[in-house]
Amino acid sequence: MQGSVGQTAGIAHRVVAPTVVLALLAAVGGMVAAAPVDGGAYAQQQQDGEHLEFYTNSKVYAPNHKLQVYGMGLPEETLIVRLFAPDGSIAKFDQVTTNPDGSFNYDLLIWPRPSSSFSYGTYAVEAISTAQNGASRIIDVRFSSTSDLVDVPVERYVNTLVFAPETAAINQPFRVFVQTTSDGLLIGNDPSDLLESTHVHLPSGAYVPLSESFETLHQGLYFVEYVPTEEGTHIFHVVAFNRGTTSHGSAATNVLSQDLGGISEQIISLNRILDETSEELDVLKSEIEGFDSTLDQASSKIDESTGTISTSVAFISEASSQLNSLLFPIIASIGIIVALQIAILARRR
């Protein structure tokens, strides 16, 4: 950034007519360093062959207040005056032609009510000389809800947020996201310039630069795809530099031999196997229940057969007793007959 910038918080006082200062400058040839009007901001850094002085009528502005720029340049040269929003975009662009004595005084804009396109924050006003090899001066001013006589610091804040996974797996790629904002607006364009000093600290103690690896999702939103080669804690240190202001952000990722996603897949696979085993057990249980019914039927049939056998045995026993009752008289008769024959034979002798 060329030129010195008013950085100290100022108090918004009344505006003194800048023509008084410019007249004094013109009287001494415009080469004497001039002070800004009371309460204003200025950027003045003369280099060899350059003559450009640039001022604003205040450091802090509220809605409906006028932003006035004035200063000295070459006679009748064209100056480009730009107003940059906190996110670096151009909120206002005009051309101003200096007077024959080199002075200029221009009302750049009247500050509107705050909106998404004109939010509160720190703005930058730049004057560029088209006749002096692009010599430029930049002034930081503050757009605030009030411009009362209180100290309002004209400072630029850059916030850096880093989003990284808590755990990852070795040799498996993952993404680290970075968001850079200023006064609530996304800022930055080329990540290789904005995040030039960004790096990652490895568990071994070494560090690896990442600035050339970032890709842009959107202005102020960037990501890097990183493949860890070591197990342990990786610290991503993001350093954002924008318009002379540096901001730091960091995040840690614990790299494991296997990520939780792989473990989860194994658990899901194990659950699937357990479900299949449970289904097979249910089938086996149903088959066992069928076998139980078969056994019950067989047992009942055996019981029936046993009853039938018992009945048959009873019948056989009864038949046997009846047979014995029939045989005993016959045997007795045979015995008597035999005895009579023996007696008859005995008498014949």
Please say if the pLDDT value at position 286 is more than 50.
Answer: yes
200: pLDDT confidence band, cut at 50, 70 and 90?
A: very high
The answer to whether the beta carbons of residues 251 and 167 sit under 8 Å apart is no
17: pLDDT confidence band, cut at 50, 70 and 90?
A: very low
Query: What tokens appear for 277 in the block?
Result: 């085993």
294: pLDDT confidence band, cut at 50, 70 and 90?
A: confident
- Average pLDDT (59-87) is 91
- Average pLDDT (241-247) is 82
Q: What CATH code would you report for 18-143?
A: 2.60.40.1930
Please say if the pLDDT value at position 32 is more than 90.
Answer: no
Right CATH for 159-258 from 1.10.1740.10, 2.60.40.10, 1.10.3720.10, 3.40.50.300: 2.60.40.10
The answer to whether the beta carbons of residues 143 and 183 sit under 8 Å apart is no
Q: What is the pLDDT of residue 269?
A: 82
Q: What is the pLDDT of residue 216?
A: 92
Q: What is the pLDDT of residue 105?
A: 93
User: How many CB atoms are closer than 10 A to CB 125?
Assistant: 22
Out of 12-16, 84-88, 291-295, least confident range: 12-16
Out of 75-84, 174-183, 251-260, least confident range: 251-260
Q: What is the pLDDT of residue 313?
A: 78
Higher pLDDT, 274 or 44: 274
- Average pLDDT (233-258) is 89
The answer to whether the beta carbons of residues 76 and 39 sit under 8 Å apart is no
The answer to whether the beta carbons of residues 206 and 235 sit under 8 Å apart is no
Instruction: Please tell me if the domain spanning 18-143 has the same topology as the one spanning 159-258.
Output: yes
Question: Regarding beta strands 221-226 and 215-218, do their DSSP bridges make them parallel or antiparallel, or are they unpaired?
Answer: antiparallel
40: pLDDT confidence band, cut at 50, 70 and 90?
A: low
The answer to whether the beta carbons of residues 131 and 76 sit under 8 Å apart is no
148: pLDDT confidence band, cut at 50, 70 and 90?
A: low
Query: What tokens appear for 275 in the block?
Result: 């479900």
Q: What is the pLDDT of residue 101?
A: 93
Please say if the pLDDT value at position 35 is more than 90.
Answer: no
- Pairwise CA distance, residues 28 & 90, whole Å: 35
Please say if the pLDDT value at position 323 is more than 50.
Answer: yes
Please say if the pLDDT value at position 10 is more than 50.
Answer: no
Please say if the pLDDT value at position 146 is more than 90.
Answer: no
177: pLDDT confidence band, cut at 50, 70 and 90?
A: very high
Q: What is the pLDDT of residue 151?
A: 54
Please say if the pLDDT value at position 167 is more than 70.
Answer: yes
Q: What is the pLDDT of residue 23?
A: 38
- Pairwise CA distance, residues 337 & 330, whole Å: 10
The answer to whether the beta carbons of residues 191 and 214 sit under 8 Å apart is yes
Q: What is the pLDDT of residue 316?
A: 81
Q: What would you report as the CA-atom Rg of the chain, rounded to the nearest whole angstrom?
A: 53
Work out the angle at residue 65's Cα, subtended by the Cα atoms of residues 60 and 70, and round it to the nearest 5 degrees: 75
Separation of first and last alpha carbons in the chain = 171
Q: What is the pLDDT of residue 264?
A: 72
Q: What is the pLDDT of residue 276?
A: 86
Q: Break the chain into its structural domains and give their ranges.
A: 18-143, 159-258
349: pLDDT confidence band, cut at 50, 70 and 90?
A: low
Q: What is the pLDDT of residue 262?
A: 63
Higher pLDDT, 105 or 45: 105
